[in-house]
Amino acid sequence: MLRRIAQALFFLALVKPFMTLFIGLRVRGRQYLPDRDPFLLIANHASHLDTVALLSLFPISRVWRIRPVAAADYFERNALVSRFTKTFFHILPIARAHITRDNHPIIRMQAAIEAGESLILFPEGTRGSGQLPPSFQAGVAHLIEQVPDIPVVPAYLWNMGRSLPKGAYIPVPFFCEIRLGPPRFVRGNRREILQQLESAVNELREVH
């Protein structure tokens, strides 16, 4: 409960004003955000601002149920970073190496969804340029095979990489935009699932 209160105050006092007033975040398709959990929100990835921006879309009362999937080796690299990201962003840390059944990414993500939590996932697996069409890794398709009834919301984040590019630590004010598409249920084999997801995000990239 204390973690939820701390996260709510953090978003109310800092994150939402920062994204609105400093970054100038614009949102298109906000009506497509599900009003119930769980769901899967997928997006291209170019900046550490991406997670902050996507979480800022939701009411304070819901943020605690929406978990960004994050690399454990980066976001748990020391006790301070781990405590900060888990307290204020409620990340779901997943292993990228030395994977066992106990820390398997798909099992951990599936368990979170089955517990009623929604996930923010960047299927590229790492930060890219943010401008080129994304190429997704197969993990997201494997996850959807395990939870085929999960609604998937595609998103395209525009200009985040210019506001806080890879390697930078201080954001600069650029007008950034999040474009959301309608939720969809994805079916097929892994290749077909990946193609559908990539197409959904790329379609939003072409919106003007």
> Residue 73's closest CA among 89, 91, 55?
91
pTM over 0.85: yes
Q: Which residues have a Cβ under 8 Å from the Cβ of 10 and sit 6 or more positions away?
A: 88
Tell me what pLDDT residue 161 has.
Answer: 76
Report whether pLDDT(44) > 70.
Answer: yes
Is pLDDT at 132 greater than 70 in this prediction?
no
Which residues on adjacent β-strands are paired with residue 180?
155
Please state the rounded mean pLDDT for residues 158-186: 81
H/E element holding 120?
strand 118-121
With cut-offs at 50, 70 and 90, classify the pLDDT of residue 174.
confident
CA torsion through residues 63, 69, 72, 75, sign: negative
Residues above pLDDT 90, as percent of the chain:
65
Distance from C-alpha of 51 to C-alpha of 66, rounded to nearest angstrom: 11
Domain count, the chain: 1
pLDDT for the residue numbered 130: 54
CATH at 50? 3.40.1130.10
**Cβ-contact 29, 158 below 8 angstroms:** no
Give the mean model confidence (pLDDT) for residues 144-162.
92
Confidence class for position 160, pLDDT limits 50, 70, 90: confident
Question: Could you tell me where the beta strands, DSSP code E, fall in 35-115?
Answer: 40-43, 66-71, 92-94
Containing structural domain, residue 83: 2-205
- pLDDT-above-70 percentage for the chain: 92
How many Cβ atoms from other residues are within 10 Å of residue 47's Cβ? 22
Q: What is the pLDDT of residues 69-128, one digit of tens each?
A: 998 888 888 999 999 999 999 999 998 878 887 789 999 999 999 999 999 999 987 766
Distance CA 19, CA 181 (A): 21
Give the CA-trace dihedral at 3, 8, 14, 17, to 10 degrees: 160
Tens digit of pLDDT for each residue in 7-27? 999 999 999 998 888 888 999
